[in-house]
Amino acid sequence: MLLLFDVGNTHVTIGGYDGDRRLFTGRVASDRHKTEDEYAMIVESVLRMHGFAIGDVEDGAISSVVPVVTQALDRAFQLLWHKRMMAVTTALDLGLTIMTDAPELLGKDLIVDAVAAKAKYPCPILVFDLGTATTCSVIDKNGNYRGGMIAPGLGISVDALGARTAQLPYVSLDAPDQLIGTNTKNCIRSGVMYGHAGMIDGFIDRMEEHLGQKCTAVITGGLAAKVAPLCRRPIVLDEYLLFDGLRALYAKNKDRPRG
């Protein structure tokens, strides 16, 4: 089994794969204060919960935007399997030209999403990743990573409303039953969810106008399934895009030294 880790600011998503076959996925909190021993126990528990054991894992790979968690998980992997994981960096063979001002500073999740999207969909491509932040990555007609946009995510928007207003409550991020809310919680849900969908539609319109051609729009990330049905522009929901990219990068770079 290949064990994959997607480390975000809010969650760590863990996936087990046998070749192209997804065996399981699990999600735990991304905690900067946990030690390698604690993460080792968490990983072992996730495996056991899905019916697997330490001996079933042959190797691992990690994409992370939280360096301190990366380090703790890598040490945890070494404790359990006595070797390091393959970590995504721009030193890998990406098969992707990154045209940003500082490629080494580009989020690893954006790189992995782009690698998978380029392999799976016709260019040009707009990849929307809905996590703690909502990001838009632009892959041009030649398959180059051009750059993108970053906006506050759904969770941040709801948290900010609850924290900065006296009478607005915190709400769960569920799709509203109707466009026009008839109570405070539904009004917030409608504003945040439809507002986010409208933002994505607007991004697509402006990017296509800027590039002068139609784009394939792809949406992924933890909250993608809730927002995609609310978008008016055609958009492909690909919940496992990052794991597809991470598997592809692992296959291409698994024999490289691991630091």
pLDDT by position in tens, the chain (length 259): 999 999 999 999 999 999 999 999 999 999 999 999 999 999 999 999 999 999 999 999 999 999 999 999 999 999 999 999 999 999 999 999 999 999 999 999 999 999 999 999 999 999 999 998 999 999 999 999 999 999 999 988 888 888 888 777 788 888 888 899 999 888 999 999 999 999 999 999 999 999 999 999 999 998 899 999 999 999 999 999 999 999 999 999 999 988 6
Are 118 and 48 in the same domain?
A: no
Are residues 79 and 179 both part of a single domain? no
* Alpha-carbon torsion, ordered 127, 128, 129, 134, to 10 deg: 140
**Is residue 11 annotated as involved in ligand binding?**
yes
**Would the annotation count 132 as a binding residue?**
yes
Q: Is 192 assigned a ligand-binding role in the annotation? A: no
Structural domain span for residue 64: 2-87
Supply the pLDDT for residue 240.
96
Domain count, the chain: 2
Is residue 115 a known part of a binding site?
A: no
Given 87, 114, 129, which residue is the final one in a domain? 87
What is the pTM for the complete model shown? Answer: 0.92
- Would the annotation count 13 as a binding residue? yes
Q: What is the pLDDT of residue 166?
A: 77
Q: How far apart are CA 172 and CA 189, in angstroms?
A: 8
Please identify, among 40, 65, 87, the residue that sits at the C-terminal boundary of a domain.
87
97 is in an annotated binding site: no
User: Does residue 252 form part of some domain?
Assistant: no
Residue with tokens 């042959």: 58
Active centre residues (catalytic): 109
Regarding whether 26 and 153 lie in a shared domain, the answer is no
Q: Do 112 and 191 reside in the same domain of the chain?
A: yes
Where is the domain boundary, 32, 54, 87? 87
> Do residue 152 and residue 226 come from a single domain?
yes
C-beta of residue 102 within 8 angstroms of C-beta of residue 192: no
For every residue of the chain, which 3-state class applies, written as one string? Answer: CEEEEEECCCEEEEEEEECCEEEEEEEEECCCCCCHHHHHHHHHHHHHHCCCCHHHCCEEEEEECCHHHHHHHHHHHHHHHCCCCEECCCCCCCCCCECCCCHHHCCHHHHHHHHHHHHHCCCCEEEEEECCEEEEEEECCCCCEEEEEEEECHHHHHHHHHHHCCCCCCCCCCCCCCCCCCCHHHHHHHHHHHHHHHHHHHHHHHHHHHHCCCCEEEEECCCHHHHHHHCCCCCEECCCHHHHHHHHHHHHHCCCCCC
Angle separating helix axes 154-164 and 184-211, nearest 10 degrees: 140
Co-location of 201 and 104 in the same domain: yes
- Pair (102, 134) in one structural domain: yes
What is the per-residue pLDDT for 237? 98
Instruction: Say whether 12 counts as a known binding-site residue.
Output: yes
